[in-house]
Amino acid sequence: MGKITRTNFGLRKRIRISHAQILTLPTLSVEVLPPTPAGSGPGGSDQIWMPLSVIVWCNPLVADYTNIDAACSLASSYMTFFGGGAIVNVIAGGAARAALGLVGEVIPSVVVNPFNEFRIRITNGGSGNLTGGDPANVMHVVCDYTEISPLL
């Protein structure tokens, strides 16, 4: 799922998350990057895909989502980012604010296995899945990442 392109700064993957997936982001995360394939580096060495930044926006956002906890955040398998309710501006900020989106660096706050997949979800303070929205709503996620060959 999603398109990978090579840029001057590394790799970029863009995915689209459907309305049905957005509704369940508090309980079902979505894969942005798959696990790093073993032996994918030079000479068959293991390669690490290290996420650097994430951009998130909704376009179109026909109708806002509801049942959103005030402290909700966008989180990943690496860390929590866009905390303090900032993600509300994307999923319930009205069409003009949702198109602006959010940009964040991916700086792990815990020790993680870099060979694991990179997934995102919405923390919703125990409020369960989102409600509302519209079947035409689409969330876009762009992840910039780099390939690292570990020292042998």
The answer to whether 54 and 81 have CB atoms below 8 angstroms apart is yes
Does 39 score more than 80 pLDDT? no
Q: What is the pTM of this model?
A: 0.83
Distance CA(41)–CA(124), nearest Å, equals 38
Residue spans of the domains in the chain: they are 3-36+48-148
pLDDT per residue over 95-142, tens digit each?
556 556 676 666 554 455 666 778 888 888 889 999 999 999 999 999
